[in-house]
A and B are shown apart, each in its own frame.
Chain A
Amino acid sequence: MYVAVKGGERAIDNAHAWLAEERRGDTDVSELSLAQIREQLALAVNRVMAEGSLYDPDLAALAIKQARGDMIEAVFLIRAYRTTLPRFGASAPVATGAMACDRRISATFKDLPGGQVLGPTFDYTHRLLDFALAAEGGEVPEPATGAATEGDLPHVTSFLAREDLIQDEPEGPATPRDLTREPLDFPADRPLRLQALTRGDEGFVLSMAYSTQRGYGRNHPFVGELRVGTVPVEMEIPELGFAIEIGEVKVTECETVNQFLGSKSEPPQFTRGYGLVFGHSERKAISMALVDRALRWEELGEDDMGAPAQDAEFVLYHSDNVQATGFLEHIKLPHYVDFQSELELIRRIRAEAMAAQGDVQEAAE
């Protein structure tokens, strides 16, 4: 006699307990602390903060620990927490010219005011596994230090702007729409697109950017400037009537200078792509700038080449990895009912087709 499968509730409780055990792993190995994750897996923490849209290194470290290192799961934990937080308002735009730069490079000018600052980068390391790292407790060499640059570091694009060689950027709305508080709506203006890109999946945005380089909506980018560092965040307090500093965040900013041969309405001039991401994440910031530029085809009067990276609906609806992973993985849920109705349909259509074939055969004989 068939007995319906019962006990979903007990199965869930037991599964959760097992998961907790797996998360801890071998108890002979000491447990990871949040500080260790925050300090030694800082780039993972950065990614979780960027895609989670929440700047809090400690919470991101907790999410990574809880998610057993699954980055998208960690991003999801942060997003689910973020949604319970009240929104007090919007900060003043961060002034990245005043950034305390750890790194600042330009691929368009050999030297420039403020200089090229290489900073901590993987770029020129040889990717050879360092077996010395496997033996823990090694000495960390003391890097050389120098005096910090005084005052603001001007943006490279400002030099081009002086000669009118780069397109002027119109002032956006004072308070942009908030993607996390309003439904996504098309046409999406640039602030909204940039919001979606900065919290979009790094892999997705990277691949979209890469596709433009390979010819699907090519936009000839130069990295005008890439800078990484901390910027103060200021917020206007209505009761005070002026802005006060509420903290600082580490960000990566990329401005691309793109070739533009002019269109029916515009004379030739360089154009811009822009990327700004929480934490140290150069790959993401550059990718974002390339995709941003590709999405601007309409306002610049360029042709729609039908490239995926030019298609705002395609890019924005599919860049969010929390949405994507949820919908993808939901097909693990039971679909007995739908499948049953398909089974019946296909049996019926097949039976009819077989009967029809039979008739044809009989007629032929």
Chain B
Amino acid sequence: MISNYNFAYLDEQTKRMIRRAILKGVSVPGYQVPFASREMPMPYGWGTGGVQVSAACLTPDDTFKVIDQGADDTTNAVSIRKFFEKTAGVAVTERTSDATVIQTRHRIPETDLTEDQILVYQVPIPEPLRFLEPRETETRKMHALEEYGLMHVKLYEDIAKHGEIATAYAYPVKVEGRYVMDPSPIPKFDNPKLESAALQLFGAGREQRIYAVPPYTKVVSLDFEDYPFDPSRADHPCELCGAEDSYLDEVIVDDAGGRIFVCSDTDYCAARREKGEAA
């Protein structure tokens, strides 16, 4: 553990500032709270928002888990886990159920989370309306006025053009009937899991925003009555553990384009195989 930095790298004043933003986010679910994001020793776009939120949440007794694309051993997940091992000296784990704080990029773990857990998301673009309106001053106004017509028009145009809503990840949701929120680039398969017993915190470092979904908050994926939301997944079982309920990565295994499907959540897959549920 490096001793010449404060616990979890950030100084206490900065952590207080972040905690205040988190508390505001929890009080107004789905609302993007501006915060004075700091430069971290990893690049913007590589999880600086999530790292700052984790730093503000971690205590010496916590057990920390980091996943990227559902896996604990992807390079950036390893890098962030090592960062907190070095700067906070916290225990780390790959087991979802053993972790008290889980930082994630692009996935929600398959295993249901509990009230004792915090899930921290890394968010690249927190504004769900950004690609419809590039101006921050405008999008903030749209949220304030609950002016989400533009989003519904976009979803409608998708259906008119493609026969379905052509958003496969970062699928927009409405939180507690008020704010439209970007759930970060998780596959829409994960959207139903946004209604959770755990506290979910979202950190966008470069864009200087924090938002939250408190436990048991109502989170509805945007859709239409006649085109209901459909959390799709590849229509295969996992090649390794046989799971039929998990999100799958497609892996190309030979030059002929042969491919197999395996669980993206490595801990879920490994635990099933340990229990002898392999196919």
Contact = CB atoms under 8 A, between A and B. Distances in A.
B232 interface: yes
Interface string A64-89: 00000000000010011011101000
Contacts of A171: none
A253 B190 CA distance: 54
Contact of B45 (A185, A313, A326, A348): A326
Interface string A155-196: 000000000000000000000000011111111000000000
A343 interface: yes
A344 B266 CA distance: 21
Interface in B15-46: 34-41, 43-46
A231 B232 CA distance: 64
B208 A183 contact: yes
Nearest to A317: B136
Interface string B135-179: 111000000000000000000000000111010111000000000
A337 B78 contact: no
B43 to A, nearest CB: 3
A344 B68 contact: no
B135 A12 contact: no
B76 interface: yes
Interface string B5-21: 10001010000000000
Interface centre among A183, A340, A342, A344 (most CB of B within 10 A): A340
Given A340-B187, A340-B248, A333 B46 contact: yes
Contacts of A342: 168-169
Nearest to B187: A341
Interface stretch (B192-200, B219-227, B249-257): B249-257
Contacts of B136: 186, 313, 317
Interface string B240-269: 100000011111010000001010101000
B107 interface: yes
Nearest to B45: A330
A335 B188 CA distance: 14
A327 interface: yes
A329 B76 CA distance: 13
A180 B48 CA distance: 15
B74 interface: yes
Contacts of B262: 2, 4
B102 interface: no
A11 B266 contact: no
A337 B107 contact: yes
B39 A8 contact: no
Contact of B73 (A6, A83, A338): A6
A341 B169 contact: yes
Contacts of B135: 313
Contacts of B53: none
A83 B39 contact: yes
B176 to A, nearest CB: 24
A26 interface: no
Given A82-B39, A337-B249, A349 B164 contact: yes
Interface range on chain B (Cβ under 8 Å from partner): 35 or more
| Residue among A317, A322, A327, A333 having the largest count of chain B Cβ atoms under 10 Å | A333
B163 A330 contact: no
A39 interface: no
A326 B166 contact: no
Residue of A79, A183, A342, A349 with most chain B CB atoms under a 10 A cut-off: A183
Nearest to B260: A2
Nearest to B161: A349
A9 interface: yes
Contacts of B65: none
Contacts of B41: 80
Interface string B42-76: 01111010000000000000000000111101111
A344 B168 contact: yes
Contact of A184 (B43, B44, B186, B208): B208
A80 B38 CA distance: 8
Contacts of B186: 337
B34 A334 contact: no
A122 interface: no
B189 interface: yes
B234 interface: yes
Given A330-B43, A338-B185, A183 B35 contact: yes
A86 B39 CA distance: 14
B36 A336 contact: no
Contact of A341 (B45, B75, B82, B189): B189
B250 A330 contact: no
B79 A12 contact: yes
B113 interface: no
B85 to A, nearest CB: 11
B69 A83 contact: no
Q: Which 3 A-B pairs have the closest CB atoms?
A: A326-B44, A330-B45, A326-B43
Given A337-B70, A344-B168, 10 more contacts: A2-B253, A9-B73, A12-B75, A84-B9, A184-B208, A187-B137, A335-B106, A335-B185, A340-B250, A341-B189
14 contacts: A8-B74, A12-B78, A183-B37, A326-B45, A328-B45, A333-B76, A335-B106, A335-B185, A337-B107, A337-B247, A338-B187, A340-B249, A340-B250, A341-B169
Interface of A: 2, 4-9, 11-12, 76, 79-80, 82-84, 86, 180-187, 313, 317, 322-323, 325-330, 333-338, 340-345, 348-349, 352
